Amino acid sequence: MAEETIEGWLTDSYDYESPRRGQLRDGTILHIGTRGLTVDVGLKQEGFVPRRDVERLDDAVATQLEPGQEVKAYVVNPENRDGELILSLTKAEREQDWVRAEELLESGELWKGEVSGYNKGGITVNLGRLRGFVPGSHLWARDKRRASAKEREEMFREYVGQELQLKVIEVNRSRRRLILSERLAQKLVREQERDRLMRELIEGDVVQGTVTSLRDFGAFVDLGGADGLIHISELAWRQVRHPKDVLQVGDEVQVYVLRLDFERKRIGLSLKRLQPDPWSSVEQELSTSQLVSGTVTGIKDFGAFVALDVGVDGLVHVSELDDPPPEHPGEVVQLGDELVLRVLRIEPSRRRIGLSLKSVSTQERQDWLQAVAIEESVPEGGDDGFGSTGYPPTEAYAEPAAEELVQEVGL
């Protein structure tokens, strides 16, 4: 029996781990007194939690403490002047919060927190007992670069009380530094939503969306948590100079799912695919040698593009602008000019119409503009002498040698 006692004592002594400052240990409350708590943390001596430390706990936590309860304790001092092992429950909570922050950083998991304050650089949030900071540059969709210092602080103040979804981007215990980002959190959320949408969508679907932004190359549409792009070439069957000529931010639109690029994680949309293709009926609307009017929408070295009333664009080759041809189309026409032109060639299969400006005489142009002015002045349903169309018959503008004017324009 004595041998077993000696052996146990030796084993216990060998297994004994001296408490270390900063250590986090599991413990059990043994006694609650006026001076504080006595806690068993599995060491050779019982630990003591001062009353002032207990008072720093949230009321909801402090009032629930009772003997036999398991707690986390932080070693403040392995041995004070009186030989006591001093523990802290509040520092244990804070230490657990640092562990949680580090886990969030490592996993990339998002966390929701309420904004507790702000300063001139950003906003603060509480992660447990830790105070984290969200720099202004990491707030979602807030452009403060042009705002004054006072305006920035006012914007930050409006965040107080809001609950934000955040991503931990830096944890430094020694410097007590915890940095979070709303912008990166929202980016991740939208990426997840985009992946979900791409799994659910099928090319050819028609879906509802909201225009969120316009760029020179197209329009972005929110499909419900993720954006798709309508390229400028898919906005309309005619040539579009800028998306703002067709859409505005905030517009609710129906769009056609044109393509799903899973590798690049992009959703291609189309607006024009939901509209009748004007090229399918252009031969019924137009004929060669006919006069038409249109607006210059684009100017290139080789000619000028003109939007016609039938909903398509035609090209006036530089050689058909004037005689002799100008060195550059800009010498003869400008963007936005309204022109009277002759149709030289119609190629629906190639989606091309050749037009001529120089083959329209001064008299034809004057007659055309006069007819348009008369039509605009006649009340709806009135007879202007030109029949139901309001325009002089096409034959009135056909010259005997019109066929000789039809030529290749290098489309």
pLDDT score at 212: 93
Q: Which long-range contacts does 215-220 make (Cβ < 8 Å, 24+ apart)?
A: 215/243, 216/242, 216/243, 218/243, 219/243, 219/246, 219/247
| Single pTM value for the model | 0.57
% of the chain beyond a pLDDT of 90: 44
pLDDT at 386: 39
Asked whether the predicted pLDDT for residue 3 surpasses 60, the reply is no
Strand pairing category for 227-231 and 266-270: parallel
- The verdict on 266 and 305 lying in the same domain is no
- Tell me whether residue 244 is in a domain: yes
Mean pLDDT of the chain: 83
Per-residue pLDDT tens digits for 341-362: 999 999 998 889 999 999 999 9
**What CATH code is carried by the domain that includes residue 44?**
2.40.50.140
Domain final position from 214, 240, 274? 274
Domain that holds residue 250: 202-274
* pLDDT tens-digit series, residues 116-126: 999 988 999 99
Shared domain for 65 and 81, answered yes or no, is yes
**How many domains, the chain?**
4
Q: Mark whether 293 and 359 lie in a shared domain.
A: yes
Pairing state between β 313-317 and 206-215: unpaired
pLDDT for residue 279 is more than 50:
yes
Choose the weakest-confidence range: 27-31, 61-65, 268-272, 328-332. Answer: 61-65
Measured CA to CA, the distance from residue 293 to residue 315 in angstroms comes to 13
pLDDT score, position 5: 54
Q: What is the pLDDT of residue 143?
A: 54
- Give the residue-averaged pLDDT of 25-46: 84
pLDDT digits (tens, 9 = 90+) for 57-115: 887 777 888 888 888 888 888 888 888 888 888 888 888 889 999 999 999 999 999 99
Q: Is residue 269 part of a domain?
A: yes
> Lowest-confidence range among 56-70, 92-106, 298-312, 324-338?
56-70
Same domain, 327 and 361: yes
Last residue of a domain, one of 163, 187, 211: 187
pLDDT, position 80: 83
Whether 230 and 267 have beta carbons less than 8 Å apart is answered as: no
Same domain, 269 and 286: no
Is residue 290 located within the same domain as residue 306? yes
